[in-house]
Amino acid sequence: MRPTINRCAPCSLDLMLSQAASEGIVFNSLQIRLCFRSWLAGMLSVLLGLAPSASSNISTSRPNILLLMADDLGIGDIGCYGNNTMRTPNIDRLAEDGVKLTQHISAASLCTPSRAAFLTGRYPVRSGMVSSIGYRVLQWTGASGGLPTNETTFAKILKEKGYATGLIGKWHLGLNCESASDHCHHPLHHGFDHFYGMPFSLMGDCARWELSEKRVNLEQKLNFLFQVLALVALTLVAGKLTHLIPVSWTPVIWSALWAVLLLAASYFVGALIVHADCLLMRNHTITEQPMRFQKTTPLILQEVASFLKRNKHGPFLLFVSFLHVHIPLITMENFLGKSLHGLYGDNVEEMDWMVGQILDTLDMEGLTNSTLIYFTSDHGGSLENQLGHTQYGGWNGIYKGGKGMGGWEGGIRVPGIFCWPGVLPAGQVIGEPTSLMDVFPTVVQLAGGEVPQDRLKQGLSMLPRQLLGSTTQYSTPYEDAILQHCTLSLYTNSVIIVFPPEGTTWKVHFVTPVFQPEGAGACYGRKVCPCFGEKVLHHDPPLLFDLSRDPSETHVLTPASEPVFYQVMERVQQAVREHQRTLSPVPLQLDRLGNIWRPWLQPCCGPFPLCWCLREDGPQ
């Protein structure tokens, strides 16, 4: 039983960094900062009086950094964000003892682009982690697409500053480019010293669930092709035997052979997916193929503990990217049936327990007071993960929509909790917009590094610029906007913009998905809502919401109901034009050529296709 510890108890630096949380969260609009200048000035005088050396202490402290990211977790699934039926005491304690962000936004509502933006501090479109044809995530481990090697992650910068860097858990940002061993997109090529986990992503197909990402679709396509070729073969045979079709036996034999091959492929495609995508690696070595799911959670926790013990003299950066709470919701036996929300709730509560185990390790190794902890999710919960009346996806609270639904808040508003023992104030709540991309400059600044100046970044440090002595001025109009891309075109998504009067947060939708069935709040019957084509609505004028008063996006504003309607629209269009002006052509990593399975890129721990191995039982 873990003792009750105030993990982020305030000390003399507490008040000083309450401004760090507050102003860093106010989005990067010069006008907004002016609205709060008088308040900040008063706070600054108090803070400097209490801690005259605070600025130097922060900038030179180089804390250990622990980043915790859930997969597909809804913001409404956590107690500290309003859920009173799900038990998440460890995550809740982080919020009680630290800083909670209530308008924390992911850069995309799906895994691959959101994680790319998180690691680089850049919109996914800038690194090519989008598609022009509708693919929105990487589809295979054996595909050639992935996070380009010329991108700079915060791990690269911290490694250069002397940090030990590790990633444990999910990657889903590519693996190989030209051969099964070049590892061009591997975490170790993006600044991490150590990697243990899934190079791809946990999927329902890994356990052959009826909720399938690609197995069912592939089986249907293969069966259809088999039926076509079988019909062709039978027609040719009948024509040959009746002398109605003058044809040799060669096309008959070939069409029959292809029909048999397609039938066999449809039968074995499920096993192929399990072996191709559901594997564990340590650095460049495959350790389990396929994975033993009953062992995965203990192995990940052992790996985390091993990393922390090896690097406890620091400084270190550890990114724990949970496989929870993505389907198939692999859950250990002692958590099954314990929650009030079925298997999904069991999985959430197990993840919270994992958070507690990791925090326990920090305590035991004496690392708690020197470690900045951050918890989030890559995007919102998946509403379409439903079978019958059973929900296997997350709950997004009061927010509309969910995973994959473009810019609706339910898909992009995520938990954001920072805890730095003895430094960040306990119980602080920040309501101004922030982004997952803001983590990049925040951790780089804490580590004493510098954000690269050779490329455009979107994130802003969440530390107080005044206290750290920065005099940076922001004048370009797009810098007070958070833009949401669904595909290559911005106009398939939304813009969030903050500006006066009174620091209002506005939300504009150019395109929204058509929910199915009519009146539903999701695209039931599909894996994910589309963001282009016939199943979306184009809005002219765009939909406008005031998130400050209407976070659920239920009341569309019009020129008749909103006096500053045209002012907001002009500001949004200005931000969009400026953003598009700064875009440079880059290879699209998620287009078809980079996103199809290539056998020669498939990681395999035996002679292909006999990819099976079990090489270890614990961390090394």
User: For residue 384, how far is the Cα from the chain centroid?
Assistant: 18
Question: Listing from the earlier edge strand, what are the strands of the sheet with 504-513?
Answer: 481-484, 494-499, 504-513, 536-546
- pTM over 0.95? The answer is no
- Beta-bridge partners for 385: none
Tally of residues, the chain: 620
Q: How many C-beta neighbours within 10 Å does residue 205 have?
A: 24
pLDDT at position 42 is 35
- Cα Rg of the chain, angstroms: 25
Distance CA(594)–CA(208), nearest Å, equals: 25
Distance CA(512)–CA(532), nearest Å, equals: 9
Distance CA(307)–CA(500), nearest Å, equals: 47
**Low-confidence residues in the chain, pLDDT < 50:** 1-5, 9-56, 59, 465-478
Distance CA(423)–CA(291), nearest Å, equals: 40
Is 111 a catalytic site residue? Answer: yes
pLDDT at position 293 is 92
pLDDT digits (tens, 9 = 90+) for 149-177: 999 999 999 999 999 999 999 999 999 99
From the list 172, 183, 485, 509, the catalytic residue is 172
CB neighbour list of residue 561: distance below 8 Å, 6 or more residues apart? none
Report cis status (omega within 30 of 0) of the bond before 609: yes
Q: How many C-beta neighbours within 10 Å does residue 303 have?
A: 23
From the list 111, 419, 531, 604, the catalytic residue is 111
pLDDT at position 124 is 93
